[in-house]
Amino acid sequence: MTASRRSFSAKMPAAILGQDASRIEYLNMKMQPYTGFTGSGAEVRALAAVDVALWDIAGKAAGLPLCDLLGGRTRSEIQVYNTCAGPNYVSKTSAVRPDNFGAAQGNSTGKTYEDLEAFLNHPEDLAQSLMEMGITSMKIWPLDLAAGAVDGVDISPADLKKGIEPFERIRAAHGDKMRLKAELHGLWSLNAAKKIAAALEPLDMDWIEEPVWMDRTHEIAELARSTTAPLAGGETLASLGQFASLIDDGNIGTPIMDVTWAGGVTAAKKVAALAEARSRPIAFHDCSGPVTLAVSTHLALNLRNVREQEIARGFYYGWYQDFVDHLPPVKNGMITIPGGAGLGLDLLPDMTERPDAIHRVSR
């Protein structure tokens, strides 16, 4: 990305060609789609990509890391939690569902951590492996494989017992040394989510994520009233109004935002301020690539109401390095930003010329 503040290359969207790159708030407003702005669809993801690039340009032009450009650091590093994915957490088609897992073995050049298979079969060993790296917080989703997850209407006692077992095994082996998060991916009805939350409560969950669809704020609020387990979610939302409703009407414990799905840095700062005004932490989603992780880490170091940053070590050590020249360093369970101005990283040169790249320019 060029450090020029004044213009964009000819490949940037026509709506902002020739505009002043330093007018980030104005350009973010100008790129707001006429329709489709309330979800993390193609329009908003395109807006987010450009917004992140604008902030990277601004940082490079100023000679400052993004977190310093945003007002400085509230911390020099932040702890991570591991989302226990791996090479098999990739779909054979575009449908990211449990019956579609398993298509990417051998595609990355880095170290293989098959954490999905591990949490299903050897969860206590997985927790031990993470703790040996200094990581003491983890997220798993064994309930996705329950038969009832196909339609989400209800969950059987047998499936509930089986889905809870990995959490119980980790607790039995390691006590409270590992913080546990349950990912439910919005697969369940309110009735089923209540049963799952009740079963997880005795295990002292760090949070239950996306128990129902996050746009159903009345259901989230009812679930929050029915359980002592903290709730989290929101990574599929993408407007200030949706996050305000999630926090105020849904009473979510921890709103989660994907910076590159939901409008970029400009939107993330506003959503974080909303959460802070309601005394809530905010968490930033990873799993979608090294640029997302880098910009999220800058925000996590800058903002006061971020507790930890998500990583997926199966991706971080597996394929993230195939796309950028530097990654945010992770050491002893902590993450910080790469050195250098802006995001501190750049896409690898000639990436679009790789034989496995799909590259298209639309005009």
The pLDDT, as a whole number, for residue 29 is 85
Helix (H) or strand (E) holding 55: helix 42-62
Burial 323-349 (b: 16+ CB within 10 A, else e): ebebbbebeebbbbbbebbbbbbbeee
Q: Which residue has the tokens 């997880």?
A: 200
Tokens for 44, please give them: 């908003």
For the chain, the domains span 68-335
Spatial contact of 55 and 66, defined as CB atoms under 8 Å apart:
yes
The pLDDT, as a whole number, for residue 354 is 85
HEC string of 138-191 equals EEECHHHHCHHHHCCCCCCHHHHHHHHHHHHHHHHHHHHHCEEEEECCCCCCHH
End-to-end CA, the chain: 20
Task: Enumerate residue ranges in the chain where pLDDT < 70.
Answer: 1-14, 34-38, 88, 90-109, 362-363
Distance CA 258, CA 239 (A): 11
Using CB atoms within 10 Å of the CB of residue 65, give its burial: 0 to 12 exposed, 13 to 18 middle, 19+ buried. buried
67-92 pLDDT, tens per residue? Answer: 999 999 999 999 999 999 987 676 55
282-309 pLDDT, tens per residue? Answer: 999 998 899 999 999 999 999 999 999 9
The pLDDT, as a whole number, for residue 75 is 98
- Please state the CATH superfamily assignment of the domain spanning residues 68-335 in this structure: Enolase-like C-terminal domain (3.20.20.120)
The pLDDT, as a whole number, for residue 181 is 98
pTM of the full structure = 0.90
Question: 284 by DSSP, 3-state: which?
Answer: strand
The pLDDT, as a whole number, for residue 95 is 55
The pLDDT, as a whole number, for residue 10 is 38
Q: What is the DSSP string of 340-360?
A: SSBTS--BPTTGGGSTT----
